[in-house]
Amino acid sequence: MRAGKDVFGVIAEFETPRGLLHGAEAVRKAGYTEVDAHTPFPVHGLDRVLSIPGSKVPWLVLGGALFGGIGGLALQWWTAAIDYPIKIAGKPYLSLPAFVPVTFELTVLFSALAAVLGMLALNGLPRLYHPTFKHSTIHRATDDRFFLVIEARDPLYSSGETRALLESVGGRNIEEVEA
Amino acid sequence: MASVSVPEASIPGEIVEDPRRRTTLVKGGLGFHDVTETICGVVEGKSPRGWWILFGLSLALVGLFVVCVGYLIWSGIGVWGLMIPVAWGWAIVNFVWWVGIGHAGTLISAILFLFRQKWRTGINRFAEAMTIFAVICALIFPTIHVGRIWLIWFTLPIPNWQFIWPNFRSPLLWDVFAVGTYFAVSLMFWYTGLIPDLATLRDRAKGKLAPVLYGIFALGWRGSMRHWMNYEKAYLILAGLSTPLVLSVHSIVSFDFAVSVVPGWHTTIFPPYFVAGAIYSGFAMVMTLAVIARRVYGVGNLITVDHFDNMNKIMLVTGMMVGYAYGMEFFVSWYSGSPYEGFIFRARATGPYAWAYWTMITCNVLVPQIFWLRSMRRSIPVMFVASILINVGMWFERFVIVASSLAQDYLPANWGYYRPTWVDVGTFLGTLGIFFTFFLLFLRFLPMVAMAEVKGVMPEADPHREPAREGRVS
């Protein structure tokens, strides 16, 4: 660790998804846990290698759906039957069949809001700055290169050894970045 | 077990019609970086002259829209051709037409996603963009149709000085929620898909303003595997939500008609019939736009003839569904024994609006039959002309439904004939201008093909692919 600067971790570049997957497998085998990958598209199978837990987004969506559905029905029931009841077309104040479309639409609307905002919140986005952006070729993570990051907070982390491991599994442009 | 011989494509890129083999979706031996270059090149390069010409024309139509709508708001909706008995005219026709066009975008982005149709990645981005712009145009019509548009907020459950609430039993109010939700969800779905591609543009952007703007809209996306996990789950859920949503939207639009007691409107076939027609016209619009964009921007390796072939098959199927619905309407009008129903359908085919009816039949039922032939499905001039004719036909379908049923209802003494005014025509052309202005700006500033998704379905993206067969990765 260089004096006065905190280290975020070490980043290695791989040319193919296959190379990245093998690299990740080797790193995990060596016992590292604070590992992440940065890829232009989701590389399937990598989540299992890195033992990333399943997403919590579905639970947030369930919450959104319940809020939208119950709230939507309650809104219609309260406005049409309680706050200002008006007889329209001889229908009952609480016309459940007629309230289905709006209830459904509000369920979908709030579920979708929960899905998008929940996804962003769980990802900690928007966050316009991140230490990985200091790597010299990280801009290719949104183009055609695959990056493996081992963070310095990993108990096994040591500047030299971690770098050597990444080198031995085919990583290139290996750089240590500041936090 | 003996190995089964699988026919090889004799020409590279030729489609092999064998279900055991899949043709590659990206042609021309492009690698990941080539995909980025092809799509970002469109945004980063100079606009072709054709873009400026189309943009100028579209802006001129936007000007026409402003004039027509300004006049309408100033004078009242009497400046349209609406007159009793036909109190719904072009505005409602255009509303239904535009909403319908939007549906193909959601079908491609959501339903084909759930069915794992990987070819959708080539066309889903601009089909979704088309959805959003079409729904904007659609929302304009009911908004200006209310006459006193400064009171449009009465359609929302906002407390007001009269203490009265919207009537939630009315299909017109269901429309507000259905189309409003549809717009919001489509926008979120589109933006979610855009985030990784905006990050690509951010990482390549030069100059002062572009990196800042793309950077803000990319929200700091860095392609972390942990982020992709949440992202893919959210995307899947959005697709799952959009699928029933898109079916509900045009069903609810059809309730505007079907819940009434007007002959020719009061039918239970309307919801599925409207949804099939919506997808049909939407695919036609995607086709029209894709043929132009592909030619102008040279993205033929990403939007291939195979994509068009698939889309033409969907148009053939949905066109036949619509044709079936036309036939079934006639059958039910006879089978119901209702003299009013029977009369209105005979009047559609032989009465004062017969010209519109037969235009509709020709464009919607006869034209797509050419797609039985493989050579026609793969001929770009043929599909371009057909896609425009289909959208003309779908406009006439809504015109026939709206105008013919109202013009000759129960009381012959009240019969009339609907004619649009120049304001009707100008407003419709104006929304075409709004649509194309948005679409051209989208082509100019945003990636028209979903790069991250296209890369994900390329054979090189499979991490278990043998290195000997590794494609060209520059």
What is the CATH number for A35?
3.30.70
Interface check for B255 against chain A (CB to CB < 8 A): the answer is yes
Q: Helix/strand/coil (H, E, C) string of B43-62?
A: HHCCCCHHHHHHHHHHHHHH
Test A40 with B220 for CB contact under 8 angstroms. no
Q: Mean pLDDT throughout B99-103?
A: 89
Residue A142 has which token pair?
A: 């949104």
b (16+ CB within 10 A) / e for A108-137: bbbbbbbbbebbbebbebeeeebbbeebee
| Option in B181, B238, B252 nearest A115 (CB) | B238
Question: Does residue A47 form part of some domain?
Answer: no
Interface check for B161 against chain A (CB to CB < 8 A): the answer is no
Question: Does residue A31 form part of some domain?
Answer: yes
Least confident of B10-19, B174-183, B214-223: B10-19
The mean predicted confidence, pLDDT, of chain B is 86
Interface check for A168 against chain B (CB to CB < 8 A): the answer is no
Test B470 with A16 for CB contact under 8 angstroms. yes
Q: Mean pLDDT throughout A171-177?
A: 80
Is it the case that residue B22 has pLDDT exceeding 60? no
Which pLDDT belongs to residue B7? Answer: 46
Which pLDDT belongs to residue B473? Answer: 45
Q: Mean pLDDT throughout B57-63?
A: 95
Question: Does residue A64 form part of some domain?
Answer: yes
Phi, psi of A117 (to 5 degrees): -65, -35
Distance CA B416, CA A127 (A): 62
Question: Does residue A2 form part of some domain?
Answer: no
Residue B215 has which token pair?
A: 């950077």
Distance CA B226, CA B231 (A): 9
Q: Mean pLDDT throughout A13-36?
A: 85
Interface check for A95 against chain B (CB to CB < 8 A): the answer is yes
pLDDT band at B94 (very low <50, low <70, confident <90, very high): very high
Test A119 with B248 for CB contact under 8 angstroms. no
Q: Are A121 and A113 in contact (CB under 8 A)?
A: no
Distance CA A60, CA B233 (A): 11
Which pLDDT belongs to residue B109? Answer: 81
What one-character DSSP code corresponds to residue A84? S
Using a 10 angstrom Cβ sphere, with 0-12 exposed, 13-18 middle and 19 or more buried, the burial of residue B182 is buried
Q: What is the pTM of this model?
A: 0.88
Say yes or no: A61 and A112 in one domain: yes
Share of chain B above pLDDT 70, in %: 92
What one-character DSSP code corresponds to residue A55? P
Domain B47-457 maps to which CATH number in 1.10.10.10, 3.40.50.720, 3.10.180.10, 1.20.1630.10? 1.20.1630.10
Interface check for B463 against chain A (CB to CB < 8 A): the answer is yes
> What separation in angstroms does the CA of B95 have from each of A87, B227, B254, B295, B440?
30, 39, 12, 30, 22
Interface check for A138 against chain B (CB to CB < 8 A): the answer is yes
B403-458 confidence digits (pLDDT tens):
988 888 888 888 888 889 999 999 999 999 999 999 999 988 888 888 888 888 77
The residue of chain B with its CA nearest to that of A73 is B168
Which pLDDT belongs to residue B20? Answer: 52
Residues from chain A that touch B189, judged by Cβ atoms under 8 A, are 112
Distance CA B298, CA B295 (A): 5
Which pLDDT belongs to residue B290? Answer: 87
- Show the domain range for A91: 57-122
Interface check for B241 against chain A (CB to CB < 8 A): the answer is yes
Is it the case that residue B170 has pLDDT exceeding 60? yes
Say yes or no: A79 and A117 in one domain: yes
Interface check for A98 against chain B (CB to CB < 8 A): the answer is yes
With tokens 């949440």, the residue in question is B230
Between residues B40 and B349, the one the model is more confident about: B349
Which pLDDT belongs to residue B424? Answer: 92
- Among B248, B242, B140, B231, which Cα is nearest to B187's? B242
**N-term to C-term CA, chain B:** 39
Interface check for A94 against chain B (CB to CB < 8 A): the answer is no
CA dihedral B177, B182, B183, B186 (to 10 degrees): 160
Say yes or no: A67 and A117 in one domain: yes
With tokens 């996306």, the residue in question is B221
Residues from chain B that touch A140, judged by Cβ atoms under 8 A, are 203
Is it the case that residue B467 has pLDDT exceeding 90? no
Interface check for A10 against chain B (CB to CB < 8 A): the answer is no
pLDDT band at A36 (very low <50, low <70, confident <90, very high): confident
A119-142 confidence digits (pLDDT tens):
999 988 888 888 888 888 888 888
Test A17 with B462 for CB contact under 8 angstroms. yes
Which pLDDT belongs to residue B400? Answer: 92
Say yes or no: A74 and A33 in one domain: no
Any idea where the domains of chain B sit in the sequence?
Answer: 47-457
Which pLDDT belongs to residue B28? Answer: 63
Is it the case that residue B2 has pLDDT exceeding 50? no
Residues from chain A that touch B31, judged by Cβ atoms under 8 A, are 144
Which pLDDT belongs to residue B466? Answer: 64
Is it the case that residue B24 has pLDDT exceeding 80? no
Using a 10 angstrom Cβ sphere, with 0-12 exposed, 13-18 middle and 19 or more buried, the burial of residue A4 is exposed
* Chain B 30-89, residues with CB within 8 Å of chain A CB atoms: 31-33, 36
Is it the case that residue B318 has pLDDT exceeding 50? yes
Between residues A23 and B117, the one the model is more confident about: A23
Is it the case that residue B105 has pLDDT exceeding 60? yes
Domain count, chain A: 2
Size of interface A-B (CB pairs under 8 A): 219
> How close, in Å, is residue A98 to chain B by CA atoms?
5
User: What ipTM is given for this predicted complex?
Assistant: 0.89
Test A79 with B168 for CB contact under 8 angstroms. yes
Q: Are B111 and B247 in contact (CB under 8 A)?
A: no
